Amino acid sequence: MAFPSTFADLRAAVIAKTRLDPNNAADVAKVSDWLNQAYYRVCLETETIQATTTLAIVANTATYTVPTLVKRIKWAVIQMSGQTFNGPPLRLTSLDEILWRRKASGGGLVTQGTATMYTLQGNNIELWPTPGGADTMTIYYVGYPPLLSAGTDVPQMDEPYASKLLEFGALIDASDYIKDILAGYTYPQSFQDWLYRYRQHLSRKQGTQSLTFRNPTGTMVPHDNSTDTGL
């Protein structure tokens, strides 16, 4: 198999290891599906594909459908209507808290300004307070990659993890299809081993510095211990 692997390379490797017929269109289609299923699974579980999208906020509306591209929400921020900058990240909370806050405001979707909290209910985002203007929400999200289709397509993952994970992931389904009991034990183990290695790589990819904790007050602590902070 060539390296880095293309979609055609990965498909040929799975077909060869399982002795499927490369001239049988049904077998080729099955292997293509198994590779893409493994691709989607790995990208979602490791959060490899991350991007941003925007959601138009409507005045007096508190419930919104999650954009199709969004599979996991990481962060969300609001840009108020007429402004050019984003506010602080929305705080993730429970529906229970939002309902209690609405009750305290009169029991309905009382407009109180810019949303500061959100919760996810199935495929809906609930905001509090109910937005009072035509704001814009920017969502930082985890999504799926484009499906592998053409033979020259290359996975949007770092190598050698991409080749190994997609191959072993597809081989799990292929071994079940051909009723290879022994392979049904070995391929899942190999897949999990490479998945562990890939997670470790992604963890190290961002650097070795320690992450700083968010300061909720916005007040930075001075280096000089004798400085009066006024608190």
Q: Is residue 219 part of a domain?
A: no
Contacts of 226 (CB under 8 A, 6+ apart): none
Could you tell me if 42 and 86 lie in one domain?
Answer: no
Q: Quote the domain boundaries for residue 182.
A: 7-47+146-204
Q: Contact 86/78 with Cβ under 8 angstroms? A: yes
Query: Same domain for 114 and 165?
Result: no
Q: pLDDT tens, 126-173?
A: 999 999 889 999 999 999 999 999 999 999 999 999 999 999 999 999
In a domain, 210, yes or no: no
Q: What is the pLDDT of residue 231?
A: 52
Average pLDDT for 30-37: 98
Contact at 8 Å (CB) between 78 and 136?
A: yes
Distance, CA of 165 to CA of 187 (rounded, Å): 10
pTM of the predicted structure, to 2 decimals:
0.85
Distance CA 204, CA 210 (A): 11
Give yes or no for residue 218 having a pLDDT over 70.
no
Taking residue 182's Cβ as centre, other Cβ atoms within 10 Å add up to 8
Taking only the tens place, the pLDDT of each residue in 63-86 is 999 999 999 999 999 999 888 899
Q: Which residue, of 127, 142, 157, is where some domain finishes?
A: 142
Write down the pLDDT at residue 108. 57
Q: Which of 115, 142, 169 is the last residue of a domain?
A: 142
Q: Is residue 221 part of a domain?
A: no
- Looking at the fold, whether 131 and 150 belong to one and the same domain comes out as no
**Does residue 61 sit in the same domain as residue 137?**
yes
Which domain-ending residue is among 93, 109, 142? Answer: 142
- Cα distance between residue 79 and residue 17, in whole Å: 53
Neighbouring C-beta atoms of residue 131, cutoff 10 Å? 25
For residues 199-213, average pLDDT: 86
Number of folded domains that form the chain: 2
Does residue 199 form part of some domain?
yes
Q: Which amino acid is at 3?
A: F
pLDDT at 230 over 60: no
**Does residue 80 lie in a domain region?**
yes
Rounded to a whole number of angstroms, the CA Rg of the chain reads: 24
Q: Are residues 109 and 61 in the same domain?
A: yes
Which H, E and C letters describe the chain, residue by residue? Answer: CCCCCCHHHHHHHHHHHHCCCCCCHHHHHHHHHHHHHHHHHHHHHHCCCEEEEEEECCCCCCEEECCCCCCEEEEEEEECCCCCCCCCCCEECCHHHHHHHHHHCCCCCCEEECCCEEEEECCEEEEECEECCCCEEEEEEECCCCCCCCCCCCCCCCCCHHHHHHHHHHHHHHHHHCCCCCHHHHHHHHHHHHHHHHHHHHHHHCCCCCCCCCCCCCCCCCCCCCCCCCC
Task: Please give the mean pLDDT across all residues of the chain.
Answer: 90
Decide if 92 is inside a domain. yes
Q: What is the pLDDT of residues 87-107, one digit of tens each?
A: 999 999 999 999 998 887 665
62 and 134 belong to one structural domain: yes
Percent of the chain exceeding pLDDT 90 equals: 74
Judgement on whether residues 135 and 85 belong to the same structural domain of the protein: yes
Domain annotation covers residue 225: no
Q: How confident is the model at residue 183 (pLDDT cuts 50, 70, 90)?
A: confident
Residue 211 within any structural domain of the chain: no
Q: Convert 19-42 to b/e letters by CB count within 10 Å (16 or more is b).
A: ebeeeeeebbebbbebbbebbbeb
- Residue 184 is predicted with a pLDDT of 81
